[in-house]
Copies of this chain bind each other. A is one copy, B any other.
Amino acid sequence: MKLLIVGSMAYDTVKTPFGERERVLGGSASYSSLAASFFAPVALMAVVGEDFQDADRKLFGDRGIDCSGLTTVAGGETFHWKGEYGFDLNEAKTLQTDLNVLGTFDPEVPEALCDTPYLFLANLDPKAQMKVLDQMHSPRVVAADTMNYWIENRREDLMDLLPRIHILIINEGETRQLSGEFNLVKAAHRILKWGPKMLIIKRGEYGVLKITQDSIFAAPAYPLESVFDPTGAGDTFAGGFVGYLAQAGDLTPETVRKAIVMGSVMASFNVEAFSLDRLKTLNKEQIEGRYQAFKELTEFS
């Protein structure tokens, strides 16, 4: 089934211990829509400036992504993020954030996309996420991501959103921050009371936990020998996860578990190169191969 992804498009300036890149394509919508496009038909909604490169636009078209919801602001500049990672690649140090056109992003969902059955609200101001949701005609599945900044500065908007989504995708520290509870299982159960049916907790190199009211699933991250750039790993995971759900068309525990592993597969590829470089050259066979490797990584009798 078709999946609409709303989020940010960015140019990122990134430094890791293994190299650096200036103003390369990034943003939550970029990573997640490209990852999702391997599984389901995807439409993306985001805003860019006049500086947005044709080659970057083409990338999404080449993967069959519906870009009718991609707005270009005349005279505007694309959102720019500058960050740095140390050897502990789990956390980025943000050096600069230029919101540019993202600061005034007021998402108008094209009429043709309002009936899209799967909706992923990638990391974005919860007010903008809500505005998109308000325009949709009862989507079957709504997943949303968020980040520490919104939890701190837009808490009320985020709390308003929670009862209206099925799946909250959030990282470990943010789960604690949002709930005010240190123990992760208790923290998740507290957040589940506020609305979502399912929490997908991202733990970076330690993998992912899925927590519902009555079950827990744990998937490790794939242990890699070379991680070049973790930027977008969480968004890529989310895109693969929601993309697989949209492909399957149901939310059975089996499907959700497979989707989590598929998301982890996509994230494991993404960190092998800067920007979306690895996703650009990826194919179905490589994805299947690593899915099998995940099975071998975790199986016991």
Tally A residues with Cβ within 8 Å of B.
Answer: 36
- Name the residue on B nearest A225 (C-beta): B185
The yes or no answer to A281 lying at the interface (CB within 8 A) is no
A260 to B220, CA, bound (A): 15
- Name the residue on B nearest A224 (C-beta): B185
Q: Is the CB of A186 within 8 A of B225?
A: yes
Residue in A203, A218, A300 whose Cβ sees the most chain B Cβ within 10 Å: A300
Q: Is the CB of A258 within 8 A of B183?
A: no
Expressed in whole angstroms, the minimum distance between the Cβ of A177 and any Cβ of chain B is 13
The yes or no answer to A223 lying at the interface (CB within 8 A) is yes
The yes or no answer to A104 lying at the interface (CB within 8 A) is no
Which A residues from 224 to 266 make CB contacts under 8 A with B? 224-227, 254, 257-258, 260-261
A205 to B70, CA, bound (A): 42
Chain A residues at the B interface, C-beta cutoff of 8 Å: 87-88, 182-186, 203, 205-207, 209, 211, 215-220, 223-227, 254, 257-258, 260-261, 295-301
Residues of B close to A211: CB separation below 8 A: 223
Please list the 7 inter-chain residue pairs (A to B) with the smallest Cβ-Cβ separation, ordered nearest first: A218-B220, A257-B300, A206-B206, A87-B182, A185-B225, A185-B223, A218-B297
Residues of B close to A223: CB separation below 8 A: 184-185, 209, 211, 216, 218
A227 to B225, CA, bound (A): 32
With A184-B223, A225-B186 as given contacts, are A257 and B299 in contact (CB-CB < 8 Å)? yes
Q: Is the CB of B184 within 8 A of A300?
A: no
Residues of B close to A185: CB separation below 8 A: 223-225
With A203-B206, A206-B203, A206-B206 as given contacts, are A300 and B219 in contact (CB-CB < 8 Å)? yes
Expressed in whole angstroms, the minimum distance between the Cβ of A54 and any Cβ of chain B is 37
Cross-chain contact of A298 among B206, B217, B296 (Cβ < 8 A): B217
Residues of B close to A209: CB separation below 8 A: 223
Residues of B close to A295: CB separation below 8 A: 300
Q: Is the CB of A301 within 8 A of B226?
A: no
Cross-chain contact of A218 among B88, B227, B261, B298 (Cβ < 8 A): B298
Residues of B close to A184: CB separation below 8 A: 205, 223
Q: Is the CB of B225 within 8 A of A207?
A: no
Q: Is the CB of B217 within 8 A of A297?
A: yes
- Since A87-B182, A261-B300 are in contact, a sample of 8 more A-B pairs with Cβ atoms closer than 8 Å, ordered by chain A residue number, is A183-B224, A183-B227, A184-B205, A209-B223, A215-B296, A218-B223, A257-B301, A298-B298
